[in-house]
Amino acid sequence: MTGTKASTQITQIRTVGVPVTDQDRAVEFYLGKLGLDKRLDAPMGGGKRWIEVAAGRSDVAGQL
């Protein structure tokens, strides 16, 4: 080793999957408490939904 250490700088987060047991409660938290915008809410069958939220000015949605 030369004594230098490598570093990684994160400049973007594109998508993060967050599994939850109560989707309605999660949506309420992410929109109401964190102030995110809902970008997509689509049924997946079996009573489950694919939900995407993102920060207001973000051009990329995140999965919930």
Q: For the segment 4-37, what is each residue's pLDDT rounded down to a tens digit?
A: 788 888 888 778 889 999 999 999 999 999 999 9
Residue 8 falls inside a structural domain: no
- Print the domain residue range for 28: 23-63
Residue 15 falls inside a structural domain: no
Q: Would you state the pLDDT for residue 58?
A: 60
Which residues face 40 on adjacent strands? 52
Per-residue pLDDT at 59 exceeds 80: no
Q: What is the DSSP string of 6-63?
A: ---------------S-HHHHHHIIIIIT-PEEEEEEEEETTEEEEEEE-TT-SS-EE
Q: How far is CA 41 from the centre of its chain?
A: 13
How many domains, the chain?
1
Per-residue pLDDT at 1 exceeds 60: no
Q: Would you state the pLDDT for residue 44?
A: 94
Q: Are 64 and 27 in contact (CB under 8 A)?
A: yes
Work out the number of other CB atoms within 10 angstroms of the CB of residue 36.
20
Per-residue pLDDT at 50 exceeds 80: yes
Residue 18 falls inside a structural domain: no
Residue 12 falls inside a structural domain: no
